[in-house]
Amino acid sequence: MQITFLGTGTSAGVPVIRCRCPVCTSPDRRNRRWRSSLYVEAGGQHLVIDTSTDFREQALAFNVPRVDAVLITHAHADHVFGLDDMRRYNVLQDAIIPVYAAAPTVADLRRIFNYVTTAANPAGLWRPRLEFQIRDAAFEIGSVRVTPLPVKHGHTPTLGFRLDSGGQSLGYVPDCHEMPPATEAAFRGVDTMILDTLRVRAHPTHLALADSVALLGRLGAARSFLTHIGHELDHAAAESALPPGIRAAYDGLTVNW
Ligand SMILES: [Zn+2]
Ligand SMILES: [Zn+2]
Ligand SMILES: [Zn+2]
């Protein structure tokens, strides 16, 4: 399994517009964070988890070659506003792309992207050709087993995803302030775990650093990464204070196992 972090930032991105704080003005490229999204290659499938507001720049910067399916955690703008850019992959692949999400998220996607179609485009039109599919239990994309797992993220219905392929496993939870026990049990022991870590101070809808690190410790992945990071966390400073096995992700980071 190979993953590339297309974006590791919170909803505002980092730098924040017009902010002059040390992180937003840092020369360290790892402190420049596009909105959170993950590219996964597993079992011959090319998957994108969340099509962020920055998807076009991310696809150009990190050379996303194809997209066989999209998984959406929830319908907040930072996770879905790049969905329109799938139309380029429709053309490249000459295929409809399936988009998998929970029922309330699919309802939001149908409302926001009400011009999406599964029909062929008439000449001159270039609409995204997507098939929204509701998934609330484990399913397969090719040989990849995908398990949608509910997490708490304010009042917004939100999923994390566990992916299993060829004996390898991944957990991805970019937005979460609390993980229900059944979800925690389902992620326990994955090879690679990626978890929301907004900042040091508590936040009503996101995990703060100490809680995220404690949860990652309980999940016990071989390697863990923080994502959905705000401008209060400097990459180098955060990483130097993390326990072994836990790293702060950054845009463009690729991990293979
Ligand atoms: Zn978010
Ligand atoms: Zn700032
Ligand atoms: Zn969110």
C-alpha to C-alpha distance for 185 and 218, rounded to whole angstroms: 10
CB 80 within 8 A of CB 86: no
pLDDT of residue 125: 87
In sequence order, the 6+-apart residues with CB closer than 8 A to the CB of 1 are 40, 41, 42, 163, 165, 166, 168, 169, 170, 191, 192, 256, 257
CA of 228 to the centre of ligand 1 (A): 7
What stretches in the chain show pLDDT beneath 70?
A: none
Give the ligand whose atoms come closest to the C-alpha of residue 10: 1
Ligand 1 centre from 113 Cα, in Å? 19
Between the CA of 199 and the centroid of ligand 2 the distance, in Å, is 12
Task: Provide the token pair at 247.
Answer: 């790293």
Q: Tell me if 162 sits within 8 A of 194, measured CB to CB.
A: no
Check if the beta carbon of residue 13 is closer than 8 Å to that of residue 19: no
Measuring CA to CA, which residue among 50, 17, 58, 2 is closest to residue 34? 58
Domain spans of the chain, in order of start: 2-27+34-251
Q: C-alpha distances in angstroms, 161 versus 125, 138, 174, 186, 243?
A: 34, 10, 10, 10, 24
pLDDT reported for residue 124 = 85
Q: Which ligand is nearest to the CA of 154?
A: 3
Cβ atoms of 74 and 53 closer than 8 Å: no
What is the pLDDT at residue 44? 97
For residue 26, the CA-to-ligand 1 centroid distance in Å is 22
The ligand whose atoms approach the alpha carbon of 25 most closely is: 2
**Which pLDDT belongs to residue 236?**
98
Contact yes or no for 42/140 (Cβ under 8 A): no
Q: Kindly write down the DSSP assignment for every residue of 196-237, as one continuous string.
A: E--BSS--SSS-BHHHHHHHHHHHT-SEEEEESB-TT--HHH
Q: For residue range 142-201, what is the model confidence (pLDDT) as tens digits?
A: 999 999 999 999 999 999 999 999 999 999 999 999 999 999 999 999 999 999 999 999
Tokens of 153: 């993220």
How many CB atoms within 10 Å of residue 156?
A: 15
Task: Give distance in angstroms: CA of 75 to centre of ligand 3.
Answer: 7
Q: Could you tell me the fold of the domain covering 2-27+34-251? A: Metallo-beta-lactamase; Chain A (3.60.15)
Four-point Cα dihedral 214, 257, 44, 216, nearest 10: 0
Token pair listed for 84: 């329109």
CA of 79 from ligand 1 middle (Å) equals 6
Contact assessment for residue 215 and residue 243, using Cβ atoms and an 8 Å cutoff: no
Q: Ligand 2 center to residue 15 CA distance, Å?
A: 6
Q: How far is the CA of 211 from the centre of ligand 2 (A)?
A: 22
Question: Nearest ligand, CA of residue 23?
Answer: 2
Q: How far is the CA of 21 from the centre of ligand 2 (A)?
A: 4
Largest distance between two CA atoms of the chain: 56
Distance 130 CA to ligand 1 centre (A): 22
CA of 124 to the centre of ligand 1 (A): 34
Q: In sequence order, which ranges of the chain are alpha helices (DSSP H)?
A: 55-62, 77-80, 86-93, 103-112, 181-187, 209-219, 235-240
How many angstroms separate the alpha carbon of residue 230 from the centre of ligand 1? 10
